[in-house]
Amino acid sequence: MAETLFHKVWNAHAVRTLPSGQTQLFVGLHLIHEVTSPQAFDMLRQHGWKVACPNRTFATVDHIVPTNRQGRPFLDLMAEEMTGVLERNCREFGISLWTPDNENQGIVHVIGPELGLTQPGLTIACGDSHTSTHGALGAIALGIGTSQVRDVLASQSLALEPLKVRRIDVNGQLGPGVYAKDVILTIIRRLGVHGGGGFAYEYGGTALDKMTIDERMTICNMSIEGGARVGYVNPDETTFAFLRGRRFAPSGDAFDRAVAWWRTIASDRNASYDDRVTLDAASIEPTVTWGINPGQSVGISEPINADPTDEAFAFMGFTPGALVKGTRIDVAFIGSCTNGRLSDLEEAARLVKGHHVAPHVKALVVPGSRHVRRAAEAKGLHQVFIDAGFEWRGAGCSMCLGMNTDRLEGRQICASSSNRNFKGRQGSPTGRTLLMSPAMVAAAAVAGEVIDVRTFDTRGQVAGMGPARSKQ
Amino acid sequence: MMATQATAAGPILTISGRGLPLRGNDIDTDRIMPARFLRVVSFDGLEQHLFEDDRATDPRHPFSNPRYAGATVLVVNANFGSGSSREHAPQGLLRSGIRAIIGESFAEIFQGNSAILGIPCFAAGHDEIGRLQMLVEQTPDVIIEADVRSGVVTAGSVRITASVPPALREAFLSGQWNPTAMLLDRYDEVRRVADRLPYIAGF
Domain ranges across chain B: 15-174
What average pLDDT does the structure give for chain B?
Answer: 95
Distance from CA of A265 to the nearest CA of B (A): 12
Distance from CA of A374 to the nearest CA of B (A): 28
Distance from CA of A390 to the nearest CA of B (A): 25
Q: Say whether both A265 and A299 belong to one domain.
A: no
Q: Say whether both A264 and A313 belong to one domain.
A: no
B201 contact A CB<8A: no
- Of the three residues A277, A303, A331, the one that is the final residue of a domain is A277
Q: Do B36 and A402 count as a contact with CB atoms less than 8 A apart?
A: yes
Residue A468 belongs to some domain of the structure: no
Tens digits of per-residue pLDDT, B67-81?
999 999 999 999 999
Q: Say whether both A207 and A304 belong to one domain.
A: no
Pick from A277, A193, A191: nearest CA to A227: A193
Q: Say whether both A162 and A250 belong to one domain.
A: yes
CATH number at residue A172: 3.30.499.10
Q: How many CA atoms lie within 13 A of B15 on its CB side?
A: 25
B23 contact A CB<8A: no
Best mutation target among B2, B30, B41 (most A Cβ atoms within 10 Å) is B41
Q: What is the pLDDT of residue A1?
A: 81
Q: Say whether both A312 and A204 belong to one domain.
A: no
Coil, strand or helix: which one is A121? Answer: coil
Tens digits of per-residue pLDDT, A399-432?
999 999 999 999 999 999 999 999 999 999 999 9
Q: Say whether both A158 and A182 belong to one domain.
A: yes
Best mutation target among B7, B33, B54, B183 (most A Cβ atoms within 10 Å) is B183
Chain A residues closer than 8 Å to B12 by CB = none
Q: What is the pLDDT of residue A459?
A: 52
B6 contact A CB<8A: yes
Chain B residues closer than 8 Å to A258 by CB = 198-199, 203
Residue A470 belongs to some domain of the structure: no
Q: Do A42 and B3 count as a contact with CB atoms less than 8 A apart?
A: yes
Distance from CA of A203 to the nearest CA of B (A): 20
Alpha-carbon gap, residue B13 to B149, rounded angstroms:
7
Distance from CA of B138 to the nearest CA of A (A): 24
Q: Say whether both A71 and A207 belong to one domain.
A: yes
Cβ atoms of B17 and B99 closer than 8 Å: yes
Coil, strand or helix: which one is A267? Answer: coil
Q: What is the pLDDT of residue B3?
A: 37
Scan residues 58-77 of B and list those with Cβ closer than 8 Å to A.
none
State the count of interchain CB pairs (< 8 A) between A and B: 219
Give the angle B8-A141-B122 at the CA atoms, nearest 5°.
45
Scan residues 123-162 of B and list those with Cβ closer than 8 Å to A.
none
The partner residue sitting opposite B34, judged by closest CB among A129, A198, A402, is A402
Q: Do A154 and B184 count as a contact with CB atoms less than 8 A apart?
A: yes
Q: Do A81 and B41 count as a contact with CB atoms less than 8 A apart?
A: yes
Average pLDDT over residues B158-172: 97
Average pLDDT over residues B4-10: 54
Distance from CA of B156 to the nearest CA of A (A): 31
Q: Do B198 and A257 count as a contact with CB atoms less than 8 A apart?
A: yes
Domain of A312? 290-462
Cβ atoms of B101 and B129 closer than 8 Å: no
How many of the other CB atoms lie within 10 Å of CB of B92?
24
Cβ atoms of B38 and A403 closer than 8 Å: yes
Average pLDDT over residues B116-124: 98
Per the structure, how many domains does chain A have? 2
Q: Do B7 and A47 count as a contact with CB atoms less than 8 A apart?
A: yes
Examine the pLDDT at B4 and tell me if it is beyond 50: no
pLDDT band at B8 (very low <50, low <70, confident <90, very high): low
Q: Say whether both A272 and A127 belong to one domain.
A: yes
Residue A264 belongs to some domain of the structure: yes
Q: A300: alpha, beta or left, given left = phi > 0 and alpha = psi -120 to 50?
A: alpha
The partner residue sitting opposite A64, judged by closest CB among B7, B39, B83, is B39
Report the residue of chain A nearest B174, measured CA to CA. Answer: A20
Q: Say whether both A294 and A273 belong to one domain.
A: no
Scan residues 168-187 of B and list those with Cβ closer than 8 Å to A.
168, 170-171, 174, 176, 178-180, 182-184, 186-187
Cβ atoms of B85 and A143 closer than 8 Å: yes
Q: Do A147 and B113 count as a contact with CB atoms less than 8 A apart?
A: yes
Q: Where are the alpha helices (DSSP H) in B86-186?
A: 88-95, 108-116, 126-138, 166-174, 180-185
pLDDT band at B9 (very low <50, low <70, confident <90, very high): confident
Best mutation target among A129, A251, A257, A311 (most B Cβ atoms within 10 Å) is A129
Q: Which residues contact A23 (CB under 8 A, 6 or more apart)?
A: A10, A14, A15, A16, A17, A159, A160, A161, A162
Q: Say whether both A430 and A457 belong to one domain.
A: yes
Distance from CA of A146 to the nearest CA of B (A): 6
Best mutation target among B37, B57, B82 (most A Cβ atoms within 10 Å) is B82
Sign of the four-CA dihedral A339, A201, B193, A246: negative
Give domain B15-174's CATH superfamily.
Aconitase, domain 4 (3.20.19.10)
Cβ atoms of A334 and A442 closer than 8 Å: yes
Q: What is the pLDDT of residue A47?
A: 96
Q: What is the pLDDT of residue A458?
A: 62
Q: Say whether both A98 and A225 belong to one domain.
A: yes
Chain B residues closer than 8 Å to A148 by CB = 112-113, 116
The residue length of chain A stands at 472
Q: Output DSSP code: residue B173.
A: H
Examine the pLDDT at B86 and tell me if it is beyond 50: yes
B43 contact A CB<8A: yes
Q: What is the pLDDT of residue A457?
A: 72
Residue A472 belongs to some domain of the structure: no
Distance from CA of A41 to the nearest CA of B (A): 10
Average pLDDT over residues A178-198: 98
Distance from CA of B113 to the nearest CA of A (A): 6
Q: For residue A321, which phi and psi values (nearest 5 degrees)?
A: 90, -10
Examine the pLDDT at B7 and tell me if it is beyond 80: no
Q: Do A14 and B193 count as a contact with CB atoms less than 8 A apart?
A: yes
Which strands sit side by side in the sheet containing A275-280, from one edge to the other?
A230-233, A199-204, A164-171, A275-280
Q: What is the pLDDT of residue A399?
A: 98
- Of the three residues A277, A309, A329, the one that is the final residue of a domain is A277
Average pLDDT over residues A195-199: 97
Strands A461-462 and A456-457: antiparallel
Examine the pLDDT at A469 and tell me if it is beyond 60: no
Tens digits of per-residue pLDDT, A88-101?
999 999 999 999 99
Pick from A234, A230, A194, A188: nearest CA to A211: A234
Tens digits of per-residue pLDDT, A269-298?
999 999 999 999 999 999 999 999 999 999
